[in-house]
């Protein structure tokens, strides 16, 4: 039979799904895939339940229900001072993943180069490749994950169509600085490029690190596709409600991609997310504040066990370097042993690299109940002790 498309054929199932399956198989605590173990606000969930029963449950408008598009525009103004026309500049998608696919399919032509910053979130590469784009990678490296502006500058060519950034950045928990974003904006302008901005962790930043959308930078209002996700903002990752903000000239073709990918997103979930976006400031501060406490707890415990804990300024994740412990094997091998022998699932950082991956770092997810984080670190302590590596 003729071959199926090589971008997807023979590709491994994502590391998140694999680790979650292994966690279930071994009754392990799952600090791998990024999802909270407590569902988001009750009023949002109740509103979704009410809207489901009240109906209608038929196709909502393709761009999204007006309440949610208005709420996304209002949130852009409230959090970032962005003036957004909800009718022409906002579209609702089935998760940020769909938003990324729509944006990439709409903006990229075969042969266009797309700059990706590595370590990179898993769907970026296949989506760019499936669009016929040519990925060009620029790496940020631990421990500070600083953007090397010279390397970024060198990555631009006359064929560059877009740069794709994830800010705050999964997996390395980096929040891009104003200076770094200023350089990305400058290079996007001088090279006449678009910027696809995956900002799903926009509200999950800590210690005074503030999320700045690239869209707010000089000359970037018309060049950026800004993507958010209710999954992260309201601890409802299974809902898969995403939102795009982009100027009409970009949103128009992106909406055309959307109409052939999912066309719409469940209307009751959209209405409930509109309620969420209008929540008072205390909700947003509370979300980041609670996560910061969890980050501190897990980071301190892991440091005490002997891991070298890397800085974490945002997201759900903390990364550790395993080198000081003297564990044998690659990050992937260590994660496989850890889930089986220690009963704790994590994610090897090498999964976020295309090639020449570092193999000494592991990502732990900390958006879990305090008791779960404690049990996980107790299990790790016992495991390491058994191996004669600590305690
Ligand atoms: N981008 C990044 C960086 C992510 O970590 C995730 C996963 N949560 C997504 C996009 C996908 O978001 P969604 O679940 O809304 O599709
Ligand atoms: N974004 C989540 C993570 O990084 C995973 C989402 C997924 O499994 N597709 O863990």
Specify the CATH number for the domain of residue 378: 3.90.1150.10
| Closest approach atom of ligand 1 to CA 100 | 10
Q: Are 160 and 66 part of one and the same domain?
A: yes
**Dihedral sign, CA of 330, 333, 334, 335?**
positive
Token pair in block for residue 219: 């000359």
Q: Are 334 and 357 part of one and the same domain?
A: yes
Helix, strand, coil tally for the chain in percent (to 5): 45, 15, 40
In whole angstroms, what is the distance from residue 386 CA to residue 144 CA? 32
Considering only the C-alpha atoms of the chain, give the largest distance between any 2 of them, rounded to a whole number of Å. Answer: 62
Q: Are 74 and 205 part of one and the same domain?
A: yes
- Distance in Å, CA 169 to ligand 2 centroid: 12
Q: Is 242:93 a contact under the CB 8 Å cutoff?
A: yes
User: Does ligand 1 lie within 6 Å of residue 33's CB atom?
Assistant: no
Q: Which of 235, 250, 281 is the last residue of a domain?
A: 281
Whether 230 maps to a domain, the answer reads yes
User: Does ligand 1 lie within 6 Å of residue 306's CB atom?
Assistant: no
Q: Are 82 and 153 part of one and the same domain?
A: yes
Kindly report the protein residue whose alpha carbon is nearest to atom 5 of ligand 1: 170
Q: Is 48:269 a contact under the CB 8 Å cutoff?
A: yes
Q: Are 63 and 134 part of one and the same domain?
A: yes
Nearest to 253 by CA among 76, 93, 83, 108: 108
Token pair in block for residue 239: 């809902």
Q: Which of 235, 253, 281 is the last residue of a domain?
A: 281
What pLDDT score does 242 carry? 98
**Dihedral sign, CA of 239, 245, 250, 252?**
positive
Q: Are 152 and 203 part of one and the same domain?
A: yes
Report the domain count for the chain. Answer: 2
What pLDDT score does 118 carry? 98
User: Does ligand 1 lie within 6 Å of residue 240's CB atom?
Assistant: yes
Q: Which of 251, 281, 311 is the last residue of a domain?
A: 281
Q: Are 15 and 54 part of one and the same domain?
A: no
Q: Are 27 and 58 part of one and the same domain?
A: no
Give residue ranges with CB within 6 A of ligand 2.
Answer: 14, 16-17, 33-34, 170
Token pair in block for residue 135: 């990925």
Q: Are 118 and 263 part of one and the same domain?
A: yes
User: Does ligand 1 lie within 6 Å of residue 237's CB atom?
Assistant: yes
| Domain residue limits at 289 | 6-40+282-386
Kindly report the protein residue whose alpha carbon is nearest to atom 12 of ligand 1: 96
What pLDDT score does 10 carry? 85
- Distance in Å, CA 85 to ligand 2 centroid: 31
CA–CA distances in Å: residue 248 to residues 68, 100, 228, 366:
18, 17, 18, 38
Walk along the chain (391 residues) and give the pLDDT tens digit of each residue.
Answer: 999 999 999 888 999 999 999 999 999 999 999 999 999 999 999 999 999 999 999 999 999 999 999 999 999 999 999 999 999 999 999 999 999 999 999 999 999 999 999 999 999 999 999 999 999 999 999 999 999 999 999 999 999 999 999 999 999 999 999 999 999 999 999 999 999 999 999 999 999 999 999 999 999 999 999 999 999 999 999 999 999 999 999 999 999 999 999 999 999 999 999 999 999 999 999 999 999 999 999 999 999 999 999 999 999 999 999 999 999 999 999 999 999 999 999 999 999 999 999 999 999 999 999 999 999 999 999 999 999 987 4
Whether 380 maps to a domain, the answer reads yes
Q: Are 348 and 378 part of one and the same domain?
A: yes
Q: Are 24 and 97 part of one and the same domain?
A: no
Nearest to 243 by CA among 259, 225, 261: 225
């Amino acid at each position: 039979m003729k071959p199926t498309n090589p971008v997807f054929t023979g590709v491994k199932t994502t590391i998140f799904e694999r680790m979650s399956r292994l966690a279930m198989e071994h009754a392990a605590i799952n600090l791998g895939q990024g999802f909270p173990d407590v569902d988001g606000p009750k009023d949002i969930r109740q509103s979704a339940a009410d809207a489901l029963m009240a109906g209608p449950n038929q196709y909502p408008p393709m761009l999204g229900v007006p309440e949610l598009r208005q709420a996304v525009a209002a949130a852009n103004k409230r959090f970032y001072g962005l003036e957004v026309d909800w009718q022409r500049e906002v579209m609702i998608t089935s998760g940020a993943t769909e938003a990324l696919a729509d944006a990439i399919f709409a903006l990229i032509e075969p042969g266009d180069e797309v700059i990706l910053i590595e370590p990179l979130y898993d769907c970026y590469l296949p989506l760019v490749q499936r669009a016929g784009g040519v990925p060009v990678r620029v790496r940020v490296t631990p421990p500070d994950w600083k953007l090397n502006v010279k390397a970024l500058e060198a990555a631009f060519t006359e064929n560059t169509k877009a740069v794709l950034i994830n800010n705050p950045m999964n997996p390395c928990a980096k929040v891009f600085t104003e200076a770094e974003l200023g350089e990305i904006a400058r290079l996007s302008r001088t090279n006449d490029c678009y910027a696809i901005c995956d900002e799903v962790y926009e509200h999950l930043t800590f210690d005074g690190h503030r999320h700045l959308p690239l869209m707010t930078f000089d000359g970037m209002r018309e060049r950026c596709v800004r993507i958010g996700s209710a999954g992260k903002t309201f601890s409802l990752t299974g809902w898969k409600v995403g939102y795009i903000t982009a100027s009409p000239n970009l949103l128009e073709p992106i909406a055309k991609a959307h109409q052939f990918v999912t066309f719409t997103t469940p209307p009751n979930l959209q209405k409930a997310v509109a309620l969420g976006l209008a929540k008072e400031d205390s909700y947003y501060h509370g979300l980041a504040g609670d996560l910061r406490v969890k980050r501190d707890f897990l980071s301190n415990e892991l440091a005490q066990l002997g891991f070298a804990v890397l800085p974490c300024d945002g997201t759900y994740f903390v990364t550790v370097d395993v080198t000081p412990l003297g564990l044998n094997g690659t990050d992937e091998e260590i994660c496989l042993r850890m889930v089986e022998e220690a009963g704790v699932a994590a994610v090897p950082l090498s999964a976020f690299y295309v090639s020449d991956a570092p193999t000494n770092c592991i990502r732990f997810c900390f958006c879990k109940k305090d008791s779960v984080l404690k049990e996980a670190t107790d299990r790790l302590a016992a495991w390491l002790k058994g191996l004669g590596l600590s305690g």
